[in-house]
Structure 1
Amino acid sequence: MANVLLAHPNITDTGTLSGGNWQISRDNLKDRQLSRVARTATASKADTQFTLDLGRSRLVSVVAVVRHNLSTAAKWRVRVANNPGFTSTVYDNAVTVPPDGGPTVLMDFATQTYLAWDPDWQLAWPTLFPTSVLEWEDDNFWAGSITEEERKEYPSLLLAVLPKPVAGRYIRVEVDDETNPDGYVEFGRMFVGSAWQPIYNANWGASIGWETDTGMQRAMSGAPYFDRKAGRRVTRFELGYLSKDEALGRVFEIQRKAGIDGELLLVWDKDDAINLLRQSYLGRLRQLSPIARVMVGNHSNAFEIEEL
C-alpha cells in the first residue's frame, strides 16, 4: 500500500494548449467548471490529442484528465518531454516493451522486414471489480471491467502518477477511442502538478464516503418524492506522524496556497489498481485544520477533502 498522495497546485492554467480538432473549445480544459467541457469534432485519433506547453520546464509528478466520456474500449497515452516534437521523452505511460520481455524489434517473416514493437497504451477504464464481487453470469466476470452502461454514470478520470518527479515543458495526451458511440470525446478539466507523500501514512480510522444534495419531500399520502442530485466523494483522514519540516514546509504551505477554494488532487493509494479510480479525485480542502504539536518532534493535521 502506498501512502496518500496530495498534488497542488494545478499548473495547467499557466500553459498553452494546442493540437486536436474541437467543436467545443479546447481551452475549457483550463476551466474549473467541470460542466464546461472541451469536445472534439470527431472521435478520430488525429482529433482527440492535445499538447500542453508549460512555457518552461516545470516539475511534474501527476497528470490527470477529469470527467471524460471515453468508452470502455478506449485507450490513452501521456508523454512528457522538453522538445515540442516529443522525439525524446522524460516520461511515457505507454508500455514500450513486449509483455514477455522479448525484443523490441520483431521480424515479419512474410515480408522479410523488421517491425518496431508498438507501445501498448493504457486502458481508460482499467479493472474495477474483483471476481469476488461479481456473479458468474455477469458479462464482465472475467475482465472485471466496467460495463458500457455503467460507465456513463461513473466518476471518470484519466490518471498518471509518475514513478518519480520529472522536469518537463511539454505534455501530450492522446486518445484511441475511434468507435466511441457519441462520435466524439470530451473532457472536463486537466490537472498537471507536483505531488507530496508523507513519510508516514494516514492514521487508522480514515474514511471515504458519498454525500448528496438530493432533496426529498413527502406528499400528503406520505409517499416520498426526490429531486435527485449527483453525489460527491468526501475523504477524511489524519496525518498523525508529521515531522516539523513536513508539517510546516508541506501542510502549512498547502493550506496557505489552496485555502478552501483551491484545487487539490487526491490519490489515496496509487498501488491499488482496482480501486485507484474510486479513491482518487479532484477536490478541495473543506476546512483548514490547525497543525497540532503532539510531542517533541511530532506534529499532526486532520484533512477533509471534498470532490469538486
Structure 2
Amino acid sequence: MALDPNKIALCWPNYIERATVSGGRWLATLPLEHVQDRRFSVVSKSRSLNLADTQYWITLPKRERIHALAMPAHNLSAFATVRARVYRDTAGTDLIYDSGWQNVWPVLYGLDDVVWGDDNFWNRRLSDDDRLNYTPLSTVLFSERLLGSSVHVELSDPGNQDGAVILGRVLITDIWQPRRNLDYNVRHGYDSGTEITRAGDAARTGYARRVTPKRTVSFDLNNLTEDEAFMRVHRLQRTQDVVGEILYLWSPVPSPTNFARAMVAHQTELNGITHPYHGNYQHAISLLEIL
C-alpha cells in the first residue's frame, strides 16, 4: 500500500545489524561494517568517489517486510544522488523495486530563504557551503511495502570535496502509519543540553558549554484500534525500548518543513496504553533525536 502523505510515519525495526553488508571499496580502518554500529560517530569511508567504490549490498538473513532506506550522519554533498534496488532473492537476480536516481538532499529552502539573483532562486536547492548547517539524513521511501531479501544501494557524488563518501549509519526498515493520524497539540522542539556556568563577579558573567541541540517531538495517538495498540505500539515498546532507533517522518512527502522534522530518534519513556472506552485505545509518544 502506498504511503499516506497526510500522516506521520514511524519506521522500525532496523534490520541492518542482522544483515550482511558487502560491496564497494572501503578503507580497512573504516570498513563498510561500521554502518552496523549504532554509534553514528563510528563511520565507514570509501576509498574513492568512483561509483564502483561507493555502492554496497545489504543482504538479510531471511525475507523481511521493508519499506524504507535511511542514511543519517553522511557527508554526501548537496549534489549527490542515490539509487536503491530491492531484490526478492539474496543473489540479487529477482528485482522487485528500483527507486531510480534520486537527490540525497531534498529542497530545503523556503521562498523567503532565496532572493532574486541567487544561483538557486528557481530550484531552491541546498548550496554546498550551507550543507553543514543541516543534520544529514537521506531517506529513500519505497512506493509500497516489499518482501525482500537484499538491497543494492548506489551513491553518486563525484564533486564531494572530501574525496570520499562517509556513512555513519544505515537503516533498512518497515514503516507504520496509524489508521487515524496523531492528534493536534503536537510538540516539536529541541533539547538544548547547553550548560551555562555563572562567574562570581558583579555581572555574573556566563560561560557556556555549548553542545548540539537534539530535536524532540511529543504527540498523542488517541484513535487507535486494538490491533494498532497491541500489534504495533505495544510491539514498538517491547522491541525498541528507550534505546532502539525509530525513523520519525512528519510526512513521507519531501519538503523543507517535513525535512526539518524528520529524524532518527529513540523513545524517552514507555508510556502506557490506555483504554478509555469501547473500541478505542490511546497512547502518548515522546522521541529524542539520535546524533
- Normalised by the length of structure 1, the TM-score is 0.87
Q: How does 1:224-235 map to 2 (within 5 A)?
A: 224-235=206-217
3-state SS in 2 of match to 1:9: strand
Instruction: Quote the Cα distance in structure 1 between the aligned partners of 2:171 and 2:126.
Output: 24
3-state SS in 2 of match to 1:247: helix
Deviations 1:29-78 (A, max 9, x none): 00000000111111111111100110222110111111100111111111
Q: Which residue of 2 aligns with 1:105?
A: none
Q: Which residue of 1 aligns with 2:35?
A: 29
Radius of gyration: which is bigger? Answer: 1
Instruction: Quote the Cα distance in structure 2 between the aligned partners of 1:33 and 1:139.
Output: 37
Q: Which residue of 2 aligns with 1:206?
A: 186
Instruction: Quote the Cα distance in structure 2 between the aligned partners of 1:87 and 1:9.
Output: 25
Q: Which residue of 2 aligns with 1:281?
A: 263
- Normalised by the length of structure 2, the TM-score is 0.91
- The reply on whether 1:195 has 2:201 as its aligned counterpart is no
Counterpart selection for 2:103 from 104, 117, 123:
123
Distance 1:85 1:244, change over 3 A: closer
Q: Tell me if structure 2 keeps the 8 A contact 1:269–1:279.
A: no
Q: Which residue of 2 aligns with 1:112?
A: none
Distance 1:195 1:134, change over 3 A: same
Deviations 1:229-255 (A, max 9, x none): 111111111011111111112111111
Counterpart selection for 1:75 from 65, 75, 81:
81
Deviations 1:133-190 (A, max 9, x none): 4333544322212221221231111101222210111111111101210001101111
Deviations 1:78-121 (A, max 9, x none): 11112456454211111xxxxxxxxxxxxxxxxxxxxxxxxxx1
Q: Tell me if structure 1 keeps the 8 A contact 2:15–2:171.
A: yes
- The reply on whether 1:163 has 2:143 as its aligned counterpart is yes
Q: Tell me if structure 2 keeps the 8 A contact 1:127–1:273.
A: yes
Q: Which residue of 2 aligns with 1:40?
A: 46
Unaligned 5+ runs, structure 1: 95-120
3-state SS in 2 of match to 1:152: helix
- The reply on whether 1:91 has 2:73 as its aligned counterpart is no
Instruction: Quote the Cα distance in structure 2 between the aligned partners of 1:272 and 1:12.
Output: 24
Q: Which residue of 2 aligns with 1:293?
A: 275
How far apart are 1:271 and its partner, in Å?
A: 2.1
Q: Percent of aligned pairs with the same residue?
A: 30
- The reply on whether 1:20 has 2:24 as its aligned counterpart is yes
Q: Which residue of 2 aligns with 1:118?
A: none
- The reply on whether 1:4 has 2:4 as its aligned counterpart is no
Q: How does 1:134-149 map to 2 (within 5 A)?
A: 134-149=114-129
Letter in 1 for 2:271: S
3-state SS in 2 of match to 1:275: helix
Give the RMSD, CA atoms, in angstroms. Answer: 1.6
How far apart are 1:191 and its partner, in Å?
A: 0.7
Counterpart selection for 1:265 from 210, 224, 247:
247
Q: Which residue of 1 aligns with 2:224?
A: 242
